[in-house]
Amino acid sequence: MVKLSDGRGQCMECGVVFYDVSTAGRHHRIKHSGSEKRASCSLCKRHYKNRPTLEQHLRSAHGIYQSNLPKGNKAQPQPQ
């Protein structure tokens, strides 16, 4: 990533410009490095590229919010 003169960040691999350097860094980790683990929902067995996408799925499909999630990349069923 490179920080542009106006404070935005740019991915050096694909040239996409982001609002800030940290967003460009997250983009690079997810899209280019392969270091992000796949995340899966143990409630419905769907798989996602990364944890933020899993968290979005959990909110919309299951009503589970980040504060309820265990550490790691798998959502566990919540006690009723």
pLDDT level of residue 24 (50, 70, 90 thresholds): very high
User: In the chain, how many domains are there?
Assistant: 2
| One domain, residues 71 and 43 | yes
pLDDT level of residue 80 (50, 70, 90 thresholds): very low
| One domain, residues 48 and 25 | no
H or E stretch covering 54: helix 51-57
pLDDT digits (tens, 9 = 90+) for 32-55: 876 556 788 889 988 887 788 888
* CA proximity to 50, closest of 40, 60, 42: 40
**Average confidence score pLDDT of the chain:** 81
Q: pTM for this one?
A: 0.45
| One domain, residues 44 and 69 | yes
pLDDT level of residue 28 (50, 70, 90 thresholds): confident
Asked, for residue 80, whether it belongs to a domain, the answer is no
Domain carrying residue 6 = 2-33
